[in-house]
Amino acid sequence: MSERTESLHAIDDGEAFEAVSDTTMSREERYRRLFDRLILAPGRIVWDDLRARIGASIILLYVLVGLFGPRLYKAPRVNQGPRSVTPLSEGLAYPLGTDNLGRDILAQLIHATPSMLQMITAGGLFVTIMGVTVGTTAGYAGGRTDRVLSLITDIVMTIPGLPLIVILAALLAPQNPIVTGLILTVNVWAGLAREIRSQVLSISRHSYVEASKAMGLSTPTIIVKDILPNIMPYVLITFVNAARQVIFASIGLYFLGVLPYDSVVNWGVMIDQAVSGGAMHVVSMAHWLIAPLATITLLSFGLILFSQGTDRMFNPRVRARHSTTTGSDDEPTDDDAAATTGGVVR
């Protein structure tokens, strides 16, 4: 990386300043480069990390089951099979056995997946979007906007979560999984907003943010280009945590009977029914309880692994190394101060 100062080439000043292209890069070439940068390079980083790979595969599995499972596998019905059958004892007819009403357990798990995924996604997105929007606006704008938003955030944060959810659930009696997801995270976003706000406060002090302001770039542009990439690892982890919270909260609340269900098939419902059906006391019925528990645990685990792995995706040093359009040589130079984003998670 030697510095050469023979700057007085044939290019004279007027020319450099007015230069326009004399070739046209084909659209194809341009899209290919964009694709490499935005999708392939991050993809490669994610694939590179074992945790992310495993996590992504697990999540993908659930998504696929959610999308195609109900179509491909039979729906659970009462008395579709003999009652309380242990897994695989009847061959492949009931791979996870049946419950005390003769419903196929695997069928229940599969058919509950779409609504669970909807709930989790709704809740996670709600927390993330609200938290990031409010936190970033408060942190970046400062002044009165900040004071007002922070006041609102603080109020929401201090309202006791569980009683609030219970009351809302009782009032609204939600059947739609998306609405349920929103209710379950109604005041969780406030904590994230607070944390994002303090991150944004320190990022805003970086010189390049001031340089962007000096260039006259619009506020949305500055937020998207300069601020957000720095908080992305944080945002991702919070999304995953919120998703997990939704899972556990929903199960807990179904279990407690706060959330109503009739024919709603749901992993939490299954647990509730399993416990009241005596699965905790009778070993031969244990599979009824273990199946939904394992399902929940596996999804949760997958989310955690994935978030740990993708954290690296937002580190520009790692991206540079995986991208084919930059040089592969990214030796740190003498005046590298502390890493600009968090350290590489390894």
Partner 1 sequence: MSADDPVVSMRDIDVHFQDDGGVNPFADPETVRAVDGVDLDIPENDVVAIVGESGSGKTTLGKAAVGLQQPTGGTVSFRGQDIWTAKKRFSNPSIPYSEIRRSLQIIHQDPGSSLNPHQTVEASLAAPLKKYESELGPEDREARILAMLERVGMTPPHDYAQRYPHQLSGGEKQRVALIRALLMNPDLILADEAVSALDVSLRVEVMDLMLELQDAFDTSFLFISHDLSNARYLAEHADGRLGVMYLGELVELGDAEEVLRNPQHPYTKVLKWATPSLSPDEGAAEPPVREIDIPDPVDPPSGCRFHTRCPYATEHCKEATPEQHSIGAAAHQASCFRLDDGSDYWRSDPLEGASLDADER
Partner 2 sequence: MSGRADAATVPKTDTESEVVLSCRDLSVEFRMDRGTSRVLNGLDIDIERNEIIGVVGESGSGKSMFASALLDAVVEPGVTSGEITYRPSEGESVDVLDLSDDRLRQLRWEEISMVFQGALSSFNPTLKLRGHFVETLEAHDYDVEAGLERTRELLSDLYLDPDRVLDSYPHELSGGMKQRALIALSLVLEPEVLVMDEPTAALDLLMQRSIVSLLSDLRDKYDLTMVFITHDLPLVTKLADRIGVLYAFELAEVGSTEEILSDPKHPYTRALLNSTPDIDSPLEEMRPIEGAAPDPVNVPSGCPYHERCPMATEDCATIKPDMEAASATHDVACHHWERVDDEIDLTTEVDR
- Min separation Cβ 8 and partner 1, Å: 8
- Min separation Cβ 199 and partner 1, Å: 15
Of the pair 50, 151, the CB lying nearest partner 1 is at 151
Pick one of partner 1, partner 2, none as the site partner of residue 30 (Cβ within 5 to 8 A by kind).
partner 1
> Do 271 and 80 meet the contact criterion of CB atoms below 8 Å apart?
no
Pick one of partner 1, partner 2, none as the site partner of residue 160 (Cβ within 5 to 8 A by kind).
none
What's the CA gap between 111 and 295, in Å, rounded? 13
For every residue of 279-298, DSSP letters joined together read: TTT-GGGHHHHHHHHHHHHH
> Do 227 and 136 meet the contact criterion of CB atoms below 8 Å apart?
yes
Q: Which residues lie across from 89 on neighbouring strands?
A: 91
Binding site for partner 2 (CB under 8 A): 1-5, 331, 334-335
What's the CA gap between 271 and 252, in Å, rounded? 9
Of the pair 215, 283, the CB lying nearest partner 1 is at 215
Of the pair 327, 343, the CB lying nearest partner 1 is at 327
Binding site for partner 1 (CB under 8 A): 1, 3-7, 9, 11, 13, 15-25, 30, 206-208, 210-217, 221, 225-226, 229-230, 314, 316-317, 319-320, 325-327, 329-330, 332-337, 340-341
What's the CA gap between 274 and 255, in Å, rounded? 10
Q: Which residues lie across from 110 on neighbouring strands?
A: none
Burial bucket for residue 111 (CB in 10 Å: 0-12, 13-18, 19+): buried
Counting every residue written for the chain, the total comes to 346
Which of 65, 171, 175, 52 has its CA nearest to residue 111? 65
Of the pair 5, 263, the CB lying nearest partner 1 is at 5
- Min separation Cβ 16 and partner 2, Å: 21
- Min separation Cβ 334 and partner 2, Å: 4
Of the pair 48, 90, the CB lying nearest partner 2 is at 48
- Min separation Cβ 24 and partner 1, Å: 5
